[in-house]
Amino acid sequence: MVVFENVSFTYKNGEQKNGIYDINLSIGKGEVVVLCGESGCGKTTITRLINGLIPNYYEGSLSGQVLLGGRVVHTMPIYETAKIVGSVFQNPRSQFFNVDTTSEIAFGCENMGLPEKEIEKRIKDTIIDFKIETLMDRNIFHLSGGEKQKVACASVYADMPDIFVLDEPSSNLDAASIEELRRIIGIWKSRGKTIIIAEHRLYYLRELADQLIYLKDGRIENEFSAERIKNITAQSLSEMGLRALKLEELKGRERSFVEKVECLHLYDFFFSYKNGYQAMAIEQLQIPKNTVIAVVGENGAGKSTFARCLCGLEKRCNGVLENSGTIYKRRKRLKSCYMVMQDVNHQLFAESVLDEVLLGMDKKDVGKAENILESLDLLQLKNLHPMSLSGGQKQRVAIAGAIASKREIIVFDEPTSGLDLLHMKEVSVNIDRLCQMGKTVFIISHDLELIFECCTQVLYFKKGNAEGPYPLDVKEERKLISFFEINNYETMQGVN
């Protein structure tokens, strides 16, 4: 179905990613193929060659050819390719052309000029197949991340392509939504569709994949058939720079727990939305100081609300933080908590990295700022514009800002979504460093591997209520793993 013949490609500006070289692939009809590798290995580039974005959107030099069912992709106009290939991307927020869900499902068909009756039929069929009646006719902006991704998948399905291409579709999803995604891919597979997925998170695809292709520096290094996939050891995964295949095999590192430790006391953290819905109700919390606390829970359980209220960003929350006898009400908390946001782009304002760090200081001290940059391996970038850096570098700039602000409490909101093993470990190292500086660090995360790397406490959020925090010892680790696993993958038999 999909054939790559000696394909090489390099991007025109060289700005984005590295190219791919001498790719030869053959994917049969109905197969599910997973492309994996470190960041920059070329897996996204391959997906773009399949759905026609290369060369129609991304320019560069291409040699060799990509064939879809015998037709050469780069000679087809992209609206023709769109009829055979459906694409689902990483970030739900930039996939939707419409504001309401029903229109979005009809969108691709409308573009193809299909007759109205046909489109209506497809919409009906899609709703039934995906069980999404409750999501119809709704404002997309009011949906959760998982729901958005579900609608995106359904919309592409309604176009009835033969081939599906997904680029890191699970990046921004929580455990429950990933399970839904897995189910949807299973449905597609059972309908005989050919599916190619570029991914970091491998565990949810373990049972579905027919082939696992490992890429390194733009070349195919290794190919695993379905049988061999089951036998890959955690060690070789780590060597390849890949994320875990089996969550239940994860182990945290050795930790020592200090018995009596000073605590931060939180009182009366309540928050309700304007329509009355109560998103968070915490009477009391004792948080051990100078620890790294994982904040876990399903989407909508109140984790982000907690983070915003803690940092003093929500006017309607009148909770109180007490630290060694000092009371911190909302305004004071605004000055004593620092948040590294999920989208770091929202918190970078200055013209240069150095200015960015200075921005956070009450008394501008260039020498000190440069020291901070040095410790984060950013000094050589000090005159560059923050927005010109890579994602990981930007995050480090934000962390530099946190250190410069001298604030004691630091909150990270999903710092590792979409990151490969290497970069996730880098983040973990930096978080460790913050802890060593005496800070108390909260990490909101769905990334179990990150939590095991650097967290020492776990705080569970369920429907606005907080449980814990519990020290992350071996027993707690088991509990955490089962909290994350909605279904036991070992007993998964086939799909659908």
Partner 1 sequence: MKEQPSQSLPANAYLNLDPRTKLFLLLIISTIMISGEIRGMALYARLVLAAIPFVLLILGRRAKAAAIYAILFAAAWLAEAFLIYNTKGIANIVIVMLSGLISRFVPCVIMGYYTISTTRVSEFLAAMERMRFPRNITIPIAVMFRFFPTIAEESHSIDNAMKMRGIGARSFVGNPAVALEYRLVPLLMSVVKIGDELSASALTRGLGGPEKRTNVCKIGFGAWDAAFASLAVSAAVFYFVSLGG
Partner 2 sequence: MSNKLNTKDLINIGIFTAIYFAVFYVTGMIGYIPICEVLVPLLLPLVTGIPFMLFLTKIDKFGMVTIMGIIVSLILFATGHSWLVMAVGIPCAVIADLILKSGEYKSWRKIIVGFCIFSEWIMGAMLPMWIMRDAYFDRIRAGYGDEYTDTLMSLMSGWMIAVMALMVVVGGIAGAYIGRSTLKRHFERAGIA
Among 16, 24, 57, 327, which residue sits at the site for partner 1 (rule: CB under 8 A)? 57
Task: Give dist(CA 265, CA 126) in Å, integer.
Answer: 50
Stretch that binds partner 1, among 38-46, 244-252, 310-318, 373-381 (CB under 8 A): 310-318
Residue choice 67, 263, 281, 384 for contact with partner 2 (CB under 8 A)? 384
Q: Tell me whether residue 327 or residue 387 sits nearer to partner 2 (CB atom).
A: 387
CA distance 379 to 364: 17
- Residue 44 lies near partner 1 (rule: CB under 8 A): no
- Residue 141 is a binding residue for partner 2 (CB under 8 A): no
Q: Over the range 268-294, which residues count as b (16 or more CB within 10 Å of their CB) and which as e?
A: ebbbeeeeeeebbebeebebbebbbbb
Is the dihedral angle over the CA atoms 168, 420, 255, 341 positive or is it negative? negative
User: With CB under 8 A as the contact rule, which of the stretches 62-70, 135-143, 382-390, 425-433 interacts with partner 2?
Assistant: 382-390
Residue span binding partner 1 (CB under 8 A) among the ranges 74-82, 246-254, 374-382, 458-466: 74-82
Q: What are φ and ψ of residue 164, in 5° steps? A: -115, 135
Contact 6, 73 (CB under 8 A): no
The least distance separating partner 2 from the CB of residue 364, rounded to whole angstroms, comes to 19
Residues 398-437 that bind partner 1 (CB under 8 A): 401, 405
Task: State how far the Cα of 107 lies from the Cα of 402, in Å rounded to an integer.
Answer: 43
d(CA 425, CA 254) in angstroms, rounded, equals: 16
Closer by beta carbon to partner 1, 124 or else 255: 124
Q: Residue 123 touches which of partner 1, partner 2, none (CB < 5 to 8 A by kind)?
A: partner 1
Determine the 3-state secondary structure of 141 from DSSP: helix
Q: Pick one of partner 1, partner 2, none as the site partner of residue 106 (Cβ within 5 to 8 A by kind).
A: partner 1
> Based on CB atoms, which residue is closest to partner 2, 354 or 441?
354
Binds 347: which of partner 2, partner 1, none (CB < 5-8 Å by kind): partner 1
Report the alpha-carbon distance of residue 170 to residue 88 in Å, rounded: 10
Least distance CB 13 / partner 2 (angstroms): 9
- For residue 155, state whether it binds partner 1 (rule: CB under 8 A): yes
Task: Provide the CA 36 distance to its chain's centre, in angstroms.
Answer: 15
- What does DSSP assign to residue 447? -
Whole-number Å distance between alpha carbons of 144 and 140: 9
Q: What is the DSSP letter of 244?
A: P
Q: How far is the CB of 385 from partner 2 (least distance, A)?
A: 4
Please select the residue that binds partner 2; options are 24, 61, 388, 487, rule is CB under 8 A.
388
Q: How far apart are CA 328 and CA 310, in angstroms?
A: 10
Q: Looking at beta carbons only, is 183 or 385 nearer to partner 2?
A: 385
Q: How far is the CB of 355 from partner 2 (least distance, A)?
A: 11
Cα separation, 239 vs 28, whole angstroms: 29
**DSSP label at residue 388:** G
- Among 37, 42, 86, 288, the residue binding partner 1 under the rule CB under 8 A is 86
Could you give the angle at the alpha carbon of 120 between the alpha carbons of 194 and 183, nearest 5°? 35
Residue placing its CB nearer to partner 1 in the complex, 106 or 480: 106
Binding mask 336-375 for partner 2 (x = CB under 8 A): ---------------x------------------------
- Spatial CA neighbour of 490 closest among 237, 248, 251, 190: 248
Among 246, 385, 433, 479, binds partner 2 (CB under 8 A): 385
Torsion on CA atoms 37, 42, 47, 52, rounded to nearest 10: 180
Phi and psi angles of residue 170, each rounded to the nearest 5 degrees, phi first: -95, 5
Footprint of partner 1 on this chain (CB under 8 A)?
51-53, 56-57, 77-83, 85-87, 89, 91, 93-100, 103, 106-116, 119-120, 123, 139, 141, 155-156, 159, 308, 311-313, 334-335, 337-339, 341, 343, 345-349, 359-360, 387, 401, 405
Footprint of partner 2 on this chain (CB under 8 A)?
15, 57, 351, 384-388
